[in-house]
């Protein structure tokens, strides 16, 4: 899955967050590193920003240098709540 971020905009940020979250959900329970996620979406800066926002919103959890979807994100995904 590759999402090529365009410059700026909330819609672009949300698209990148969706791509990062989808990658984390697909890998669950495995951890994904920021460099892996950045390669997948094609931008380190955008991946860094998206991961930080998803952690702040409780959808990703950090484990040292890697990340995975939270139990809440997994549950919502399984319920098709978004």
- The HSE-up count of residue 23 (CA atoms within 13 Å, CB side) is 26
- DSSP assignment of 14-72 equals HHHHHHHHHHHHHHTTS-EEHHHHHHHHT-HHHHHHHHHHHHHTTSEEEETTEEEE-HH
Mind listing the pLDDT tens digit for each residue in 10-59? 889 999 999 999 999 999 999 999 999 999 999 999 999 999 999 999 99
User: Residue 59: left (phi > 0), alpha (psi -120 to 50), or beta?
Assistant: alpha
What residues does each domain of the chain span?
Answer: 10-78
The tokens of 28 are what?
């669950």
pLDDT value, residue 4: 46
pTM of the model: 0.84
Fold of 10-78: Arc Repressor Mutant, subunit A (1.10.10)
**Locus of tokens 């990148």:** 16
């Amino acid at each position: 899955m590759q999402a090529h971020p365009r410059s700026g905009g909330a819609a672009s940020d949300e698209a990148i967050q969706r791509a990062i979250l989808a990658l984390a959900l697909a890998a669950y329970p495995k951890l994904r590193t920021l460099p892996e996620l950045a390669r997948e979406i094609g931008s380190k800066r955008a991946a860094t920003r998206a991961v930080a926002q998803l952690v702040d919103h409780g959808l990703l959890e950090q484990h040292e240098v890697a990340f995975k979807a939270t139990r809440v994100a997994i549950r919502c995904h399984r319920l098709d709540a978004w």
